[in-house]
Structure 1
């Protein structure tokens, strides 16, 4: 968890976090979407995937009750959060508004 805190606090660019589970169907749909987003935004943002089953303490801290849940952090602060599948155009616009 400390490594995660360091990442969101010490990174200049926005950090998009995908809280997911391996057994979750909609989470599997996010993989190509996030790959597309990364290809489009490049170094403007970092994209991190967190498995809620492996990182239960982190999931509890951020009150993850549904997967996938996406969160965007900027300067250590949560600036956006949404559960469910989010399309790449919306994520790119969101990142570019924070970059």
Structure 2
């Protein structure tokens, strides 16, 4: 979890998608690619596999997939479980630029 702390302790907003392989659709992958391409270097976009990171998912009380979170300066700014479209995610991340 030390790596996670380093990951979120940045001035750039960090959008994280907690997912599971059995519930990860192509739409989610394309959505995150769209978000990353629009935001470029202004933000980080990261996918975290819940099954491979169970301790972290438990610590953050991730119960559903996908669960999206936005962090900035080590603080969680937004969280939502369920599919989100690229424009919604881009708008949310831009609020924290």
Which bin holds the TM-score, normalised by the shorter protein?
over 0.9
**TM-score with structure 1 setting the length:** 0.93
What 5-or-longer segments of structure 1 have no aligned partner? none
Contact 1:14–1:45 under 8 Å retained in 2? yes
C-alpha root-mean-square deviation of aligned residues, in Å? 0.7
| Runs of 4+ residues deviating >6 angstroms | none
Aligned-partner Cα distance in 2 for 1:47–1:89 = 14
Deviations 1:40-75 (A, max 9, x none): 110111011110000000000110000000000011
Aligned length, in residue pairs: 96
- Within a 5 Å distance, the mapping from 1:1-99 to structure 2 comes to 1-9=1-9, 11-24=10-23, 27-28=24-25, 29-99=27-97
Contact 1:17–1:48 under 8 Å retained in 2? yes
Aligned-partner Cα distance in 2 for 1:96–1:72 = 11
Aligned-partner Cα distance in 1 for 2:67–2:13 = 16
Deviation at 1:33, TM superposition (A): 0.3
